[in-house]
Amino acid sequence: MRWALVKVSLAVTAMVVIAFAVPLALVVREMASDRAFSNAERRASGLAPVLAITTDRAELDRAVASTEDGAAGRLAVHVPAGDEPGAGPVEIGTRRAAAEDLETTRRLGRATVVEVAGGSVLLQPTAVGSGRVAIVELFVPEGERSNGVATAWLVLAGVGVALIVGSVAVADRLGVRMVRPAQRLAGAAHELGEGRLGARVPEEGPPELKSAAIAFNAMADQVVQLLANERELAADLSHRLRTPLTVLRLNAASLGSGPAAEQTMAAVEQLEREVDTIIRTAREAKPQTQATGPGGGCDASEVVRERMAFWSALAEDEGRKVRVAGIERPVRIPVARPELAAALDALLGNVFRHTPEGTAFSVDVHNGDDAVIVLVSDAGPGIADPAAALARGNSGERAGSTGLGLDIVRRMAESTGGDVRLGYSVLGGTEVRIWIALADHGDRRGTTRRSRRKRA
């Protein structure tokens, strides 16, 4: 579109320049020629008083020689023969016009211009008495007729080129103003199609493109909202299944050994894997679809209290001692409430799944200046290979893995610039430490990690 506008502007401006410059150039040439002949006619008329007084050759010679044109050999005088005896024709100077042209001028009685070699001659008739008409012939060189024409044409050409360049520049700027919003809209559409749901378009430009940008942004916001609602619905349904699955696993373990018990345990494990897959898909981190402004995040203390109230009932049935600390006051973190709830459910589910009944566990929240630390500890047998348990994509198939839950927890922590560490707790079992950075994702991440290393 940009180049099309430039080409159209170039064509239109060129036609306008040609339409006006060519006639104007011809007018300039004609004006220069008229000016030259007007000056020649004025100079030729200077001999009229002399011819009115005398037609004597000697007098006429002196009069012609006294003029600039006569001294240059461009002036001639033709006096016809008179009726008096001895009054023959008189010709002074070099004649360039033909005899027929001289007779034509005498007959017409007005000045005429005749083309000759090297230029033109002006034939000016002058009455000398007794019905005779003398002709003053003044030669006008070609250079005098075109004097100043070349300069005027160059000026016209420069003005025409300047107009064309200016129109092309203006058309290019207008094209950029029209094309750039369209390019941004196309780029944002590609980004949205590739899954980058945070793509938006500045609502600026011509009215039509501005309306398209507003419609695109509204569509993108609606798509993000629909996907968020769908993901939250899937995650909520999946978490509702976690507690019944845990109860089924415990009941299946109480069946003892036998084919029925083994089939029941296998079915429960398969169902747990399917639920984990749903949670992993639903909780797949997409930061571009979530608001990261001052109003984002949640209260970690409130989420911990809510989830511990949920899991405490099952812990009481299994005889587990539970300790919760650090949730007496609000603790704001830059994590969405469903994300933190999913991470806590994954860790607490691991405690119930991988430790025997009666094993104590605790949840501690530590609020720092640049980070919030959530510790989930238990008094179980611990994890033999913490590095393998933290490996991305390990779903429990390798020894020591705690399953999908740590992958969810790690993504949640890394979305803030933090991380997840496994170690041994003071209770004697496993300790999962979630470091949630309070700094921005970009500029302050390095500062947070350096501070974290110093504290460690």
What's the pLDDT at 183?
80
Cα–Cα distance, 449 to 186 (Å, whole number): 39
Band of residue 375 on the pLDDT scale cut at 50, 70, 90: very high
- Kindly list the distances between the CA atom of residue 239 and the CA atoms of 233, 235, 264, 338, in Å, as whole numbers in the listed order: 10, 6, 21, 10
**Is pLDDT above 70 for 234?**
no
Mean pLDDT of the 207-235 span:
80
Q: What is the percent of the chain with per-residue pLDDT over 90, rounded to a whole number?
A: 11
Residues 6+ apart with CB under 8 A from 195: none
Element (H, E) at 17: helix 2-44
User: Do 331 and 299 form a contact (C-beta atoms < 8 A)?
Assistant: yes
Cα–Cα distance, 378 to 428 (Å, whole number): 7
pLDDT digits (tens, 9 = 90+) for 47-69: 888 888 887 888 888 888 888 88
**Is pLDDT above 90 for 374?**
yes
Nearest-CA neighbor of 128 among 186, 54, 204? 54
What's the pLDDT at 379?
92
What's the pLDDT at 393?
43
Mean pLDDT of the 118-122 span:
87
Burial class of residue 228, CB neighbours in 10 A (0-12, 13-18, 19+): middle
Cα–Cα distance, 265 to 248 (Å, whole number): 9
pLDDT digits (tens, 9 = 90+) for 140-187: 888 888 888 888 889 988 988 898 888 888 888 777 777 778 888 888
What's the pLDDT at 327?
92
Band of residue 397 on the pLDDT scale cut at 50, 70, 90: very low
Given the DSSP bridges, would you call strands 119-129 and 332-333 parallel, antiparallel or unpaired? unpaired
Mean pLDDT of the 1-15 span:
78
Band of residue 321 on the pLDDT scale cut at 50, 70, 90: very high
- Kindly list the distances between the CA atom of residue 283 and the CA atoms of 82, 272, 289, 341, in Å, as whole numbers in the listed order: 125, 16, 12, 11
**287 against 7, higher pLDDT:** 7
| Cα angle value 326/421/375 (rounded, 5°) | 15
What's the pLDDT at 323?
93
Band of residue 232 on the pLDDT scale cut at 50, 70, 90: low
DSSP 8-state symbol, 147: T
Mean pLDDT of the 83-97 span:
75
What's the pLDDT at 285?
46
Band of residue 359 on the pLDDT scale cut at 50, 70, 90: very high
Mean pLDDT of the 388-393 span:
60
pLDDT digits (tens, 9 = 90+) for 249-282: 777 777 777 777 777 777 777 777 777 666 666 5
User: What is the average pLDDT value for the chain, to the nearest integer?
Assistant: 79
Beta-carbon neighbour count of residue 52 at 10 Å?
13
3 state SS of 82: coil
**Is pLDDT above 90 for 189?**
no
Beta-carbon neighbour count of residue 46 at 10 Å?
14
What's the pLDDT at 293?
42
Mean pLDDT of the 374-399 span:
69
CA torsion 121-122-123-125 (nearest 10°) is -160
